[in-house]
Amino acid sequence: MKNNFINPSDFKSLYAPVLFIALAFFTAGSGSCFKRQEPVVVPVFDSIPQQNLLNASLTEISGIAASNKYPATNWGIEDSGNPPVVHLLSHQGSIIYSSYIKGATNRDWEAMAIAENDVFIAETGDNALQYSEYAIYKFPEPVNLGDTIFNAEKIRFVYPDGAHDCEAMFVDAATKDIYLITKNSNPSKIFRIAFPYSSGVQTAIAEGTLSFGGVVSADISQAQNEILVKTYTTVSYFKRNSGETILQALQKTPVRLAHMLEPQGEAVGFTRDNTGYYTISEKAFANQVFVNFYKRL
């Protein structure tokens, strides 16, 4: 008696062309039944950081940024109540040099960034929502370490909708636009200070919102294609695909990265060589503060 079932070994030769044509019909062209989706890229970082003790004199680190000039270092700042000083920190947590910024005040420094050769420090903290004007200090990354910084430019700005408490900032290296993400709003608002910067007081541009609030830090990768956004309890990763604006990237659903909770973690930053990212906390009620490194696997 003849077997009427198809031999599995014959299936590919008999039906593969039909399946190929059907698949092409449904996926090709603008009139297709299914829209092609970008693949979801899930980054893989260590969930348990490599830790080094931070110098005990630094108890209120509020922003960090990887140096472009000095390998294996981060610049760091402290917030209100501290002098207008920027610290160059080793990845092991020691202070290499500290530089005083002449003419600057530290009303409430809450974020910093580096784009190409320039350092940006955000005087944007406002817990009581009492200020009408804010500032960002910009200066070339110091060449002679330890020297006083005399050439800081003060970029003055206001928000179009009143006062905000902002602790997150990064800079688009391609356009030099400055991006700010508020802490007090829920969801957090995204503002942009467009380049060229005004010599007077300029108004930040309202760009949109995130899908969550309470943002305390953010950074964009050296290649400008990855963004980290930190709250006290989460680290969110956004992938920026080719052709996407920063706003488009930030309005996607983020990937939440597994990480270790900190006493009052307000600083996150990619490494310059893209091998991972760092976080540093304020001391708050902890006995000591660590420099945490999450390696890319």
Distance CA(140)–CA(121), nearest Å, equals 12
Domain count along the chain: 1
Q: Which domain holds residue 58?
A: 48-295
Tell me, yes or no, whether 21 lies in a domain: no
Tell me, yes or no, whether 261 lies in a domain: yes
Distance CA(27)–CA(35), nearest Å, equals 7
Specify the pTM: 0.86
The b-or-e profile of 166-205 (16+ CB within 10 A means b, else e) is bbbbbbbbeebbbbbbbbbbeebbbbbbeeebeeeeeebe
Token couple for 118:
């320039």
Tell me, yes or no, whether 33 lies in a domain: no
Higher pLDDT, 27 or 81: 81
Secondary structure of residue 88 in the 3-state scheme: strand
Distance CA(68)–CA(118), nearest Å, equals 9
- Going by pLDDT thresholds of 50, 70 and 90, the confidence category of residue 145 is confident
- Going by pLDDT thresholds of 50, 70 and 90, the confidence category of residue 41 is low
What CATH number has the domain bearing residue 193?
2.120.10.30
Tell me, yes or no, whether 290 lies in a domain: yes
Tell me, yes or no, whether 9 lies in a domain: no
The tens digit of pLDDT for each residue in 207-251 reads: 999 999 999 999 999 999 999 999 999 999 999 999 999 999 999
Instruction: Answer whether residue 135 shows pLDDT above 60.
Output: yes
Tell me, yes or no, whether 64 lies in a domain: yes
Token couple for 182:
């508020």
Token couple for 49:
């950081």
DSSP H stretches of helix in the chain:
8-27, 246-250
